[in-house]
Chain A
């Protein structure tokens, strides 16, 4: 029944839909994903290395501290990446309850634990010398849960059923809004999660009208959250008037745009950032794009944006060709997660969005987010190695692809699995 190339392990990786299995193709995964992620990691490491003298002065630790820690984080990320490429996707799907439970537990622990006086927010879980932000784990767990939930609703034909589909999603968003946005004061991550869930629901096929209603509600809640918390209001004011109060609330926003602008066309050069020397807060972390832009200028910044855009394009392509709904939704979730964080971060650095305390994926210093991004990319990479035999857009998309087209499939004797009706894949 299965083509010879398929192994038992391959079967286990995939969704349990029989039709999907019938159409399944295994081919070379998308190596571009690795290449692009590696470029971003390398850029991050180089920038952190180059500003480590400044960081050493402002933080009082040794010059190699940040580079060592980032290298360690990259090492852990590679392990996480390899793990999630190897562990069958189905395994994640089947253990979504466990993941969710761990995510909730981590969040509770973070809330219960006494806070670090330097970062007075209940966001961190500390285990000895290790610490991570609970919300990253929660993002990952929610991603798997929601992809599974939506796949089931698709299968049940209930995707358009407001009560069965939209209400649980809204309820989840509501809980997250209370816990992450209010208790943990992490509006940025809340925004990322809500965007991730919203886009996944959108791609899963929730009616547009419903999404607009949900979106309207989210905006309303967001506005209320902003009004309720003075410092958020201050950040919005800062955003509206970036140069009005450089010394107080607008200091970071002001210094970041100064860093970006003073980079000019070609930048000050790798070793020549001045803003990293205490002017720009979080130079290694949230503000790293501004430091990059100061060092490498317009040309370097555009290249970096292009690398991000290329990565998002590759992920988009993987999701288009994903072999089944669950895989597709997972990939869309990862795409949204990473791209929204990128947009929120860079948007703040160039003064187009308010500061949100979100790191720049793959570039910023900080172990937690890096490991979870890598884990998420591992899933994407795993899925990129499969596609349904006939993609819904096969006639347009599959042309010219050397390793995954109709002809090669035929040559490999897989034609027997050809299914002329893509709609069957989601039959209930």
Chain B
């Protein structure tokens, strides 16, 4: 009876063993699976783990500071400061009212102004305030509110406000330099970020050192010492601000160059902006450094280069006279002088510059074509083109350490062009060719220094983080711009222009006799974007020099569309130049004649 209804213990034990066998077999299968996963497929899973766990981080490098010469010392004009962004994690803000009043006590502002960010929905990062100081940030941290946090970030600070703003540029929110030196020298200033490769937790926080962790320390950026003289720069900016109003210009720009090494001593435009508040600037044109990125048809200031080319090529001599017919007909067009002084008569090289004779500039191109004749031919055009492009390096960026430098434009010497003669006659007095103030200054410098074209530069030296100083040696781009005598011949010619204006009633062109000052005005027609020229709209320009025994500074001034009662060059460009020259002399920046 029991055998038929109940299990025999033997049967029972047999079934227990079957069950244990199943358990043991399952565990054995797990063992095989582990062999597969942990040994055979180890590489696959290790890689999968590293894909998740190993993260790379950039360790930001400290950006180099920017310094400039001030008297006999070097002072920082751009510094770094760690400032903090205050943000909220709104879901963690329990009592927005309380938190808002706590923030307003520390940061300032009304408590209400923080409420929208504190109660923002659908985000875990709402910015409450930017640029908090270390002290303010510490005070926020002390609140120990899990819904508040601060994040440090280095900002550029400018102890001198808007000093040299456009030539400096700024550093944008991504830490990249834009405009000016910050853009051009971004790689050097930024340094090289370090790299941290680390096994991290799921939130990306690196775990304690493991074999996979590697760290490459960042290389801090180099400090840059500019060629800018802080005193001259400040004065120049003041002069431009004043003259901007006096001349009712759209923009005024000026650059002061040391012709013997290409060092830019000052470079400014007005209107300008404060790079510390670049984010609040609505008109991005204010960021432009017009000295390098705004080429214009320079007008008669070009005649200094035309004269230099004609002298250097032997086409004219400094004391040569010629008969000026007061107009030339070229390709069917009349070329006349703006000033109709005296009409057709005998003129000389000095009067071409002093009276700014377009007919005289055209005559010099004729002399380059065929000496003693009054025609323009391929010889003259090619010669003049060669001077403009290869000697004076117009039509190409100078390579100065600035963002967005413009190339300008020199018309090609295309002899198939039926109006090429007219086109080139125009370039001889600065129309139909576009040039930046810097290009003009660098070209004139190369003539005045005896024929060496130095690349204009803003950098006097760079100092790496280990203290190693690299002096920026003057870079010669062209050794034989003109013969040394051309500069010596041009100096009195340009002094003559200054004297002529002084005698013509421009009393501000009176300079002490132990200094040499020379210049040339330019009043240029402004081309319409659609072709042709505006009527009654001119740009005023001026190129000049100031020095003692020899020209010490070359100065170029552009006054864009001034509103003055006379020629833009004489009444807008010239007074700005005069202010600058007087300032340099009066403040002792110029060595007088000994």
Tell me the A residues contacting B by CB distance below 8 Å. 54, 57-58, 154-161, 199, 202-205, 255, 257-265, 272, 274-275, 277-279, 293, 297-298, 301-302, 305, 308-309, 312-313, 316, 319-320, 325, 328, 332, 335-336, 339, 343, 346-347, 350-352, 391-393, 422-423, 425-428
Contacts and interface: CB of A to CB of B under 8 A. Distances in A.
A260 B1 CA distance: 54
A392 B46 contact: no
Given A258-B45, A261-B42, A262-B49, A427 B5 contact: no
Interface residues of B, number: 48
Given A274-B207, A332-B19, A426-B6, A261 B41 contact: yes
Given A257-B45, A393-B13, A428 B5 contact: yes
A275 B51 CA distance: 12
Given A54-B201, A309-B24, A309-B27, A423 B33 contact: no
A388 B233 CA distance: 109
A350 B24 contact: no
Contacts of B37: 257, 260-261, 350-351
A352 B12 contact: no
B510 to A, nearest CB: 79
B34 interface: yes
A94 B207 CA distance: 56
Contact of A261 (B17, B27, B30, B48): B48
Interface string B33-59: 111011101101110110011000000
Contacts of A313: 20, 24
Given A258-B49, A335-B19, A347-B30, A154 B6 contact: yes
Given A155-B6, A428-B2, A261 B12 contact: no
Given A332-B16, A423-B8, A261 B45 contact: yes
A159 B4 CA distance: 10
A159 B210 CA distance: 62
18 contacts: A154-B7, A156-B5, A199-B19, A202-B15, A204-B7, A262-B42, A279-B202, A302-B31, A305-B27, A305-B31, A305-B34, A316-B19, A316-B20, A346-B30, A350-B30, A351-B33, A423-B9, A427-B2
B7 A301 contact: no
B6 A305 contact: no
Nearest to B210: A272
Given A261-B37, A316-B16, A158 B5 contact: yes
Given A328-B12, A392-B9, A277 B201 contact: yes
A168 B426 CA distance: 114
B10 interface: yes
Given A204-B12, A352-B30, A261 B49 contact: yes
A331 to B, nearest CB: 9
A325 B38 CA distance: 43
B11 interface: yes
B173 interface: no
A261 B10 CA distance: 43
B72 interface: no
Contacts of A320: 13, 16-17
Contact of B17 (A154, A274, A316): A316
Interface of B: 1-13, 15-17, 19-20, 23-24, 26-27, 29-31, 33-35, 37-39, 41-42, 44-46, 48-49, 52-53, 199-203, 205, 207, 210
Contacts of B24: 309, 312-313
Given A302-B31, A351-B33, A392-B13, A261 B38 contact: yes
B34 A301 contact: yes
Contacts of B15: 202-203, 205
A259 B31 CA distance: 16
A302 B203 CA distance: 32
* Among B1, B30, B31, B33, residue most surrounded by chain A Cβ atoms (within 10 Å): B30
B23 A157 contact: no
A262 B199 contact: no
B2 A157 contact: yes
Contacts of B23: 309, 312, 335, 339, 343
B34 A157 contact: no
Given A312-B24, A335-B20, 18 more contacts: A54-B201, A57-B201, A154-B6, A157-B6, A159-B5, A203-B15, A203-B19, A258-B45, A260-B37, A262-B48, A265-B39, A274-B199, A274-B207, A279-B53, A305-B31, A309-B27, A343-B27, A427-B2
Given A277-B201, A277-B202, A316-B17, A297 B9 contact: no
Nearest to A388: B9
Which 3 A-B pairs have CB atoms at the shortest separation, nearest pair first? Answer: A261-B45, A157-B5, A205-B7
A336 B46 CA distance: 35
Contacts of A298: 34-35, 38-39
Contacts of A255: 52
Contacts of A351: 33, 37
A265 B38 contact: yes
B38 A301 contact: yes
Given A57-B201, A203-B16, A278-B202, A426 B27 contact: no
A91 to B, nearest CB: 24
Contacts of A279: 52-53, 201-202
